[in-house]
Structures are given as structure tokens and as C-alpha cells.
Amino acid sequence: LLFQTGILDFDPKRISIFRMSDFSDDINNELRNVEILSTIKLCMETGKTILMINTNRIHGSLYDIFNQNFSIMATGDMRKIFSKVAIGPKTIDVAIHEDFQCIVHVKRNEFKDIPAPFLSRFQKYLLSINDFYRIRLQKLSRHEQIILNNIEEKILSFIQHFGRQYFYGMNDNTLYSCLLSLIKINENEEYSLLNLNQYYTQLTIKLKSFIEQNPTDIQQSFEEKFQKCLCNLYFQQQEHFNLRNFIQQLISKSLLNVDNNDLLSLENTENQLSFNTIHRTTKVIIFTRTSSYVLDLSQQLKNELFTTNNDNDEISNYNKQIEIINLNTIENSIELKDKFDTYINNRTKNVLMIVIDGRYEQQRLHIPYVRQLIDTTDSCYNTNHCTEPKYFLMLVHSLAQDLYHQSCFSSIFLYDWEFYFFDTCMPSSAFHLQKMLQILSSSH
């Protein structure tokens, strides 16, 4: 939320983020704590802003900083501020730059359990996506406010009609994360809605002509042609079952291969859209049910996922571009970071898939850490490699009985994240999946 709203940015020269992991090898790792504290010490000396998340294990070492127990040494017009930091067995004096700032992130449901003396050391702010959305909504023109209010009203009605439990990962902030993403701020601090064309990605551009049909023509939704078009869009132009096809759409530079005669023809201006003129989605979380195929997903099964019978088929080469990390094989954050670095430095790989077993609480605890690592890696690399981006895909699987009754992670559409739900995640040949889709499509 802080990054989406521009309060913080990912400029490594200005801010450092410290999110400690919950890997078993990291929890009681004193050497790792010393490394983090040494980096924090450097940030204090150079005047960076630090954001601390899940760092309660090292808070005791920063007792004097948090309590603002400073000593000041003045010489003429110069002054230096010092405080004590416990790094390992030693307590050392650290020079504190006057621009240094510290933000400690605390989950709302953990707030009541935090000791009052610790809370008293900080200015406290309770932030929610809904609050930020309401603030920015009021800064739009009256006409744009009416548009967003109508959107909110219709979506809430839609959710209520079908039942919130059928929207996986949905919580009170999911809708408002989407609406907040529609509001932009220019260099003059002026607020406005995104142009509709700015909101399409390589995964949604094929829906453009359908989405932009006359919204005032309510009668069209009852026409057979409309229903058939919608069905074809869902089963043929989008992907909800097959990982291979989804990744192909994700990384494809050919955006507008729409040959379905039943779809409305694309506008000439849309045909001119190229790889570089639309927003690219590079970060995706897919929720799906646990299966033997997903459990065994590895570098070996990757060949089955992307190889076809046609050796000349472009799809058969995609397996060379995919790197897969099974999170249950990772012992600590250093090992995970090394695998990310290896992926970034490999010129032939452009998709990193992280498989997370949502059946186990310990695995679910790692999701925010992995997401943060993806955000940081994506920002550092893709900012400078816009034409050849790297993609990140988190595949989170859970048992069917859990999948439909509780969410292992909230779907929050901030900072360019996208969320998808796959009812099944199988090879295209499994259960004659393509035949099933053809039957479903033709029946409408």
C-alpha cells in the first residue's frame, strides 16, 4: 500500500526493506541477525529510510534507537548524533544521520498483543486500502467520482448476488485495491482516472472489444450471440486450466492473435498496439487445488508441461525459459535469494515459478516473504529491462476442501500484482481437457 500510493518507493538509494523470513534455519540464526543489524547500522549512518517487517527478533538490539536515547557531540557548527546498537555480543556506538527514519510494520491482528512500552516509542498510523481509496476518490472530479461510485455499487451487488465465498482470496480490501489502482497522480499532484487503454495488459487485451461494447445496451446480455461470445472469451481467449497455455500468454509478444469469428473485430488502433505500448503483467499468483501433478512439479516435469509432439513448435522451446523453485526444498532465505539471483543472471530464463504448498501453515507463512522478494527483484531488474522483462509466478495449491472454504492468502491487487484461480492444474492431455473445453464452448 505504501508503494502503490507513492509514500515510499523502491529506490535502493533512499529506502531499504528488512523483512525477516520464517524459514526454520533463519529463526534462531544469530549470524543472520548480525548481518541484518550491520546493514541497518549502515542505513542509520547514511540517512536512509528503513521499513522493518516481521523483525521482532532483533528489536531488542535496537532498544536505544527506538527509545531515542541519543548522545550529541557538537564541534563548532557541526554536530553528530550517536546511539547504541547491540550487534552480536557487542554494543557499539553508531552515528545517526539526521535524515534517518524507521518504519515498523505491524499486522492489525497482532497490534493488541504488542507491549505498550514498545508502542509508546513510535508515532502510530492505522492504514487501510479503503481509507486511501476514499481520500483519493475525493480528489477526483465530480464526474469521475460518480463513475467510480457506480462501479463500486455494481460490483458489490454482483458479489452479494453470487456469494463472497466464491471469490477466492477476497477480503474487505480486495475490491478497493482494484479501484485504488484506477486512480493516477501526475507530476503536478493532480488526480484523475487511468485512461481505459492504460489498464489493459497482455493477459486482458484480447477482451478489449468485448469489454467496450455499448454499456447502455442492457438487452444485449440476453442475446444468444452475446452469451456465446462471452463463453468463447472465457474458455478460448483466457486460460483457467492449463499452466502451459497461461505462461505462453504471459510471455508472448504476439498480443492480438484473435481468429475467432464470433468475437467482435478489433479496432484499427488496437491492431497497432505492440509489445511496448501496453502495460505488462510480470507478477502473478495462481491459486489451485493440490494434485499429484502439482506436488511433483519440478524441473523434470517441466518438460512434460511445455514439450509438444511437434519439435518445431514454438511451445516446445518454452521449457528452456522456465525456472521452477519448489519452496518445500528451501531451507533458508539465503538459499532462496541465491536461486533468485541465479535466475536473474541467466539470460535464457525469463519465467520463475515458485510452487508453494498451501496445505501447511509453515509454507503459507512464507508467502509474504516470497512476494516481497519478487517485488524487490522485479523492481530492480524490469525497470532497466523493459523490452525483455523477467516474469514471476507463484503457484499456491491447497486441498479442495480447504480451497473452497478458506483462503491461504488475500487477493490484493496492488503494485501490479494479478491473481488467478485454476480449478484444476493439469497437462493439456489430462482428462482430455481440450475436448472438454470444446464441448463446453460449442454448447453455447
**Cell numbers found for residue 412:** 490484493
- What residues contact 109, with CB distance under 8 A and at least 6 apart? none
pLDDT number for residue 436: 61
Provide mean pLDDT across the span 75-95.
Answer: 88
Residue 21 has φ and ψ, to the nearest 5°, of: -85, 170
pLDDT number for residue 6: 76
pLDDT greater than 60 at residue 258: no
CB crowding 78-97: b at 16 or more within 10 Å, else e: eeebbbbbbbeeeeeebebe
**Which is more confident, 430 or 120?**
120
- What residues contact 399, with CB distance under 8 A and at least 6 apart? 289, 290, 359
pLDDT digit string, tens, across residues 147-198: 999 999 999 999 999 888 888 888 899 999 999 999 988 888 899 998 877 7
Residue pointed to by grid coordinates 509508546: 120
Provide mean pLDDT across the span 216-221.
Answer: 74
pLDDT number for residue 438: 64
pLDDT number for residue 197: 77
E strand intervals along 259-408 = 283-289, 322-326, 351-357, 391-398
pLDDT greater than 80 at residue 108: yes
- Compute the CA torsion angle 195, 199, 200, 204 (nearest 10 deg): -140
**Cell numbers found for residue 20:** 525477516
**Cell numbers found for residue 281:** 503483467
Provide mean pLDDT across the span 417-444.
Answer: 68
The residue among 218, 184, 193, 208 whose CA lies nearest residue 272 is 208
pLDDT number for residue 428: 56
**Which is more confident, 396 or 273?**
396
What is the C-alpha radius of gyration for the chain, rounded to an integer number of angstroms? 25
Gap between the Cα atoms of 98 and 82, Å rounded: 10
15-119: CATH superfamily: P-loop containing nucleotide triphosphate hydrolases (3.40.50.300)
Percent of the chain with pLDDT over 90: 42
Residue 366 has φ and ψ, to the nearest 5°, of: -80, -15
Residue 170 has φ and ψ, to the nearest 5°, of: -80, 135
pLDDT greater than 60 at residue 430: no
CB crowding 142-161: b at 16 or more within 10 Å, else e: eebeeebeeebeeeeeeeee
Asked if 395 and 421 count as a contact pair (C-beta separation under 8 A), the reply is no
pLDDT digit string, tens, across residues 271-305: 445 445 678 899 999 999 888 778 877 665 666 66
CB atoms within 10 A of CB 377: 19
Judged by average pLDDT, the poorest of 45-49, 177-181, 408-412 is: 408-412
Average pLDDT of every residue of the chain: 83
Asked if 404 and 288 count as a contact pair (C-beta separation under 8 A), the reply is no
Provide mean pLDDT across the span 40-68.
Answer: 92
User: So where are the chain's domains?
Assistant: 15-119, 128-194, 215-442
Q: How confident is the model at residue 307 (pLDDT cuts 50, 70, 90)?
A: low
